[in-house]
Structure 1
Amino acid sequence: MGTLRRILLCHRKNVKVKQVIYLEILKKFASETKVKAVLDERVKEDINPKHHPGIFKFPSVALPKKLINTISSVLKDQPIKTLVKDAKMLRQYLHSRHAPIESLEMKARVSELEKQIRSEDGIDENLLGEEERSHLMEVRAAKLKSLIGQRIYCWKSIDYDEYKSKVYLLARSASNYAVLMKVFNELKIKDPTFSPKTLLDFGSGVGTVIWAVRNSWDKVIEYFCVDKSSHMNDLADLILRDGNINNELPSPGYFFRQFLPSAQTLKYDLVVSAFSLVDLPTSQNRLQTIMNLWNKTSGYLVLIEDGTLAGYKVLNEARDFILEFGSSSKNIANVAAHVVAPCPHDLPCPKIKTKKPCSFPVKYLTIPLEGREESRTALYSYVVLKKGVRSEDSLDWPRLVQPVLTRSKHTICRLCCSNGQIEEIIFTSSKHGKFTYHCARASHWGDLLPVKLSDSTSEE
């Protein structure tokens, strides 16, 4: 694999590598690959490959005009330049945020730093007098505090007051809405019969999940929104009233709370946690929350985080926990679980070995304050879980987990496959057929490829 990448790199940098040698090595590598890709027989070759059924074509997302007008009204009394500056800082901070370090790991890392400090100064405090020992302890404590600040991530909970809630509204609502619309669009494609009537939104913030659900399904009658910040809840409520507190809510089915409902019997068709799990202080707290959310869904559980390594790890932790619980003997309800998206399998995520996030892109337009509107791309990680066993006839097409590399006469795809592995396949017209080859070339990061994979060695 390393050889092929070096060849491709040389080719891209216009290093003088003879084309004949390059193609011969490429053909040799392709012939030695252990995985074969064959077009799924359910896909007819009389369609345009640019519109094959694995493509989740999704345009750049903009907030609805009515919402933009409402947000502009809500923010009209704020100093715009200061708000824009603070929104940029908050967006950068949230994107660079890590999950909190567990207490045991923190103690171990602090202990290592203490050993390092004692080793560096080489002083045996037992040989010192009381006053000298006291001074040494103070010096070491100061060094330790400095090293902790330099080398250990300091996680802090964000207290969203009235102003910070408005900053978050400007900083994240457009991108969060775009991500939610794309995820819900895929869910609608995969399950056209799903029409939720009740929603539980954990970490509801300014209400972006409500906006996306209302634009995706039209039969929802109850929106139960939970956010620990009363200011976030008030702002979300105000936006639903079109920016005027004296207006009525669109329907009586909106509820804003600071805690999850305690009743065990309450079930919701759709349960969502978007960009909220990283805000929980410990792994135990996260897993307790995830189990609570899982117990409250009668349909789908949708979990979304930023497409950073921290966001991906938190989601993968939740995914593994739910899947393990679904197959555990401790599962009193005896309810299995399976992944609907993005994975074509319920096996451990192969990306965890690469130390790179499994993330996907979505394009969106920013809120046009003072007439300025920018086009941006957000990366997000997500998992959609459903109760029950994976259907035998469900599509297990591999998903593209990196950008497709289109080259002259060949296309390189990195695919997450139903065998729980990431495979790199080089598609050519001669080896895979014109239709399959053009399907690969027309696909993008996040799409499914309508092919079946097999181990070529088992066919020999």
Structure 2
Amino acid sequence: MIFPPKVRFLLEQTNGLKQTAADISLRYRTGRDKSLKTAAEAAAYAATRMPATFGAVARALELTLETLETPPETLLDVGAGTGAATLAAQQLLDLKSAICLERAAVMRDLGQKLVAADWRTIDIMADDLPETADLVVASYMLNEVADPIFAARKLWNAAESVLLIVESALPESVALLQKIRTDLTERGAHVAAPCPHDKPCAEWCHFACRIERSRLHKQLKGGDAPFEDEKFSFIALTKAPALRRSARVLRHPQIGTNKVGLTLCTPDGIIEKTVFKPDKALYKIARKAKTGDAL
């Protein structure tokens, strides 16, 4: 999915983004204060990270929607940042309402200029969530709070139908999602995606989406490649049992001569499957499959 050109244009109107982005990157790499304090810092961060967050949430939400009988009509985006997740949801859903909850004033102020939604101030660790919604989304947020399980329970209680959590593909982020998955399934949640089952799993399960890079994006992040691959992990949990597929592709398909090798997550565990050309229908699907696709 293409990042909206209008939002990209608005982000590119801020002067000095390259130097500010470099300063933020240095702070992150050296473990110094990661908080964003100025409008310029919020704009530089958004210009650097918002397209990737948008792409990851869009891909995770696409895979989640395949498992739902009824698409969500209301959205609660918790830890919304500058609204990338809401922007992705608005591209995929016909939403009647969207609420963005963000603690940092500089991020919230910029988000209000970029994404049409009901923006509110909240700290998920200290405050009660003010609303419920069909779909609750938290993207790249739970790994930054003091007690992510406590926060995830709040998110789950606010979800009328679906809770979607998106994090990085780092092993520690995947491990966090596994802990949340275990905790919430014990509280009655059903796994909609990516797993085709509710059973325990210790797999380092992560996915990728391809992000188009603008000229500014190339300048901010370095390099001339026209795209980048954002690797991410996610879990989608539902109140009612989801419509499950029989398997999900975990690795990039290995295409050989008249055959395709697939690594699949199934209700019986992870399996290796080879699809041969004589099986025409499945062979065609396997050749075009991407990591994360359901079969």
User: Are residue 428 (structure 1) and residue 276 (structure 2) matched?
Assistant: yes
- Which letter does structure 2 place at the counterpart of 1:66? K
User: Are residue 167 (structure 1) and residue 44 (structure 2) matched?
Assistant: yes
> Looking at both structures, which has the greater relative contact order when contacts are Cα pairs under 8 Å and sequence separation is at least 6?
1
Deviation at 1:267, TM superposition (A): 2.0
Q: Which runs of 4+ in 1 moved over 6 A?
A: 154-157, 370-373
Give matches, 1:434-453, under 5 Å.
Answer: 434-449=280-295
After superposition, the CA RMSD in angstroms is 2.6
Tell me which residue corresponds to 1:279. Answer: 144
Is the 8 Å Cα contact of residues 71 and 93 (structure 2) preserved in structure 1? no
Tell me which residue corresponds to 1:305. Answer: 167
Deviation at 1:347, TM superposition (A): 0.5
Deviation at 1:65, TM superposition (A): 1.4
- Secondary structure, counterpart of 1:190 in structure 2: coil
Is the 8 Å Cα contact of residues 79 and 103 (structure 2) preserved in structure 1? yes
TM-score (norm 2): 0.87
Structure 1 or 2: more helix by fraction: 1
Deviation at 1:157, TM superposition (A): 6.8
Deviation at 1:214, TM superposition (A): 2.0
TM-score (norm 1): 0.57
Give matches, 1:352-367, under 5 Å.
Answer: 357-367=204-214
Tell me which residue corresponds to 2:250. Answer: 401
> In structure 2, how many angstroms separate the alpha carbons of the residues matched to 1:401 and 1:371?
29
Is the 8 Å Cα contact of residues 88 and 171 (structure 1) preserved in structure 2? no
Is the 8 Å Cα contact of residues 340 and 385 (structure 1) preserved in structure 2? yes
Give matches, 1:41-56, under 5 Å.
Answer: none
- Secondary structure, counterpart of 1:290 in structure 2: helix
Q: Summarize the Cα distance change of 1:371–1:363 in structure 2 as closer, same or farther, 3 Å threshold.
A: closer
> In structure 2, how many angstroms separate the alpha carbons of the residues matched to 1:274 and 1:157?
21
Tell me which residue corresponds to 1:83. Answer: 20
> In structure 2, how many angstroms separate the alpha carbons of the residues matched to 1:263 and 1:81?
36
- Which letter does structure 2 place at the counterpart of 1:193? T
- Secondary structure, counterpart of 1:204 in structure 2: coil
> In structure 2, how many angstroms separate the alpha carbons of the residues matched to 1:232 and 1:297?
24
Deviation at 1:88, TM superposition (A): 5.5
> In structure 2, how many angstroms separate the alpha carbons of the residues matched to 1:71 and 1:211?
14
- Secondary structure, counterpart of 1:325 in structure 2: coil
Which structure 2 residue ranges, 5 or more long, are not aligned?
Answer: none
Is the 8 Å Cα contact of residues 201 and 226 (structure 1) preserved in structure 2? yes
- Which letter does structure 2 place at the counterpart of 1:272? V
Give matches, 1:331-342, under 5 Å.
Answer: 337-342=189-194
Moved more, 308-317 or 210-219: 210-219
> In structure 1, how many angstroms separate the alpha carbons of the residues matched to 2:217 and 2:157?
45
> In structure 2, how many angstroms separate the alpha carbons of the residues matched to 1:367 and 1:256?
30
Q: Summarize the Cα distance change of 1:344–1:422 in structure 2 as closer, same or farther, 3 Å threshold.
A: same
- Secondary structure, counterpart of 1:159 in structure 2: coil
> In structure 2, how many angstroms separate the alpha carbons of the residues matched to 1:375 and 1:338?
35
Which structure 1 residue ranges, 5 or more long, are not aligned?
Answer: 1-60, 94-153, 241-249, 327-336, 352-356, 450-460
Tell me which structure has the larger Cα radius of gyration: 1
